Amino acid sequence: MRTALRACLATAVVTGVLLAPAAGTAYAATTAAQAATVDQGSPADRFSGTPVHIGAGLVAVLRHEAEGPEAWIRAVGPDWKPGDNYMYRVLTVLDRMNPVDSANGLQLEITRMNSAAPLLTVTQAGVPPSYPMPLSEAGRAHGAECVSATKRLGLHGTLVADLTTTPDGPQVQLVDGVTKEPSTKLTRTGPALVKGGRTVARIMNPSAARPSFEYETPGQADPFGTALFPELPAGCAFTYAVQDEAPAPKPAATPSAGSSPTPSAAGPAAPSATPSAETASAAPGAPGAPKAQAVGQTSVVPEGGVAAGAEPAAEDTDDSTTGYAGAGLGAIVAGLGAAFIARRRDRTRR
């Protein structure tokens, strides 16, 4: 027993010695790769942005993408200068859900949150300097002065919709309100989501002067909600021809079975001077062949293509079937009798 235990322990020790260098190398490689991912960063990186030194050993990394304006407050130390690495410990994040906070004795707030050009205000000892945040995507394309304020609507669950009007028309950015993960974007030229999805939302009259946003509201008394888009700022014009609001389509009238779908322009038809065959036969005293009187049972036979198979069958007019059935039954009885007699004779002979 002791010998087996010692052998097991020795095997475990040898295995650990052999695998330790490989495990250490793999861990070091993974850590280096993660550090490189964070430090290198790129404009498209979720955590990169415009760093601004706001004092007290802090840097505000400013962003304004599809998820909305953000200020990531990071501790970098008192000797930080522009161009240095800023991917250090995060103290707080300011955004639409948390626009006001404090860190290291500084009072922080994002003002003009719904505009295309928000500001980060930092207050220390009563002095509130402001730092301009990056423009929104629409502001970078058209200028902040020609982009409306953003209207945020809650759809279902954590999904929200940010409504904005630009010179290119209305647009809706769907975003997860908690994770801030951007989703589909609706525009004037692509005003609706793909059918069959979990979310039902669309821009109504996208080329009108005041378009609206229609969205599904699960669990509410009204299954759909409607909201107008913000107005385009004064002095700005659309880049397309504005169309009048399209009226709701009216259901087409369904003609009755006895009426003509296309009324005659000449009015009701004049009565014919020549009576038809039915009219002539119905007129009193009109000459015609006398009608044959039906005697006994009669059958109505259709005319034309439906007449096939409609003639009365022969078995319905005579008793031949009954006669055949009786003859067959008699033959069966006679056969059984003959068999019985033959069997009895055979027993008698024995």
pLDDT digits (tens, 9 = 90+) for 261-308: 444 444 444 444 444 444 444 444 444 444 444 444 444 444 544 444
> Average per-residue pLDDT in the chain?
74
Q: What is the pLDDT of residue 196?
A: 77
256 vs 55 pLDDT, higher one: 55
pLDDT-based confidence at residue 198 (cuts at 50, 70, 90): confident
The whole-angstrom separation of Cα 163 and Cα 148 is: 9
pLDDT digits (tens, 9 = 90+) for 144-189: 999 999 999 999 889 999 999 999 999 999 999 999 999 999 999 9
Would you say 147 and 118 are in contact if contact means Cβ atoms under 8 Å apart?
Answer: no
The whole-angstrom separation of Cα 1 and Cα 312 is: 104
C-alpha gyration radius of the chain = 46
Q: What is the pLDDT of residue 99?
A: 97
Chain CA centroid to CA 133, Å: 35
How many C-beta atoms lie closer than 10 Å to residue 348's C-beta? 6
Q: What is the mean pLDDT of residues 206-229?
A: 89
pLDDT digits (tens, 9 = 90+) for 74-99: 999 999 999 999 999 999 999 999 99
Q: What is the pLDDT of residue 347?
A: 61
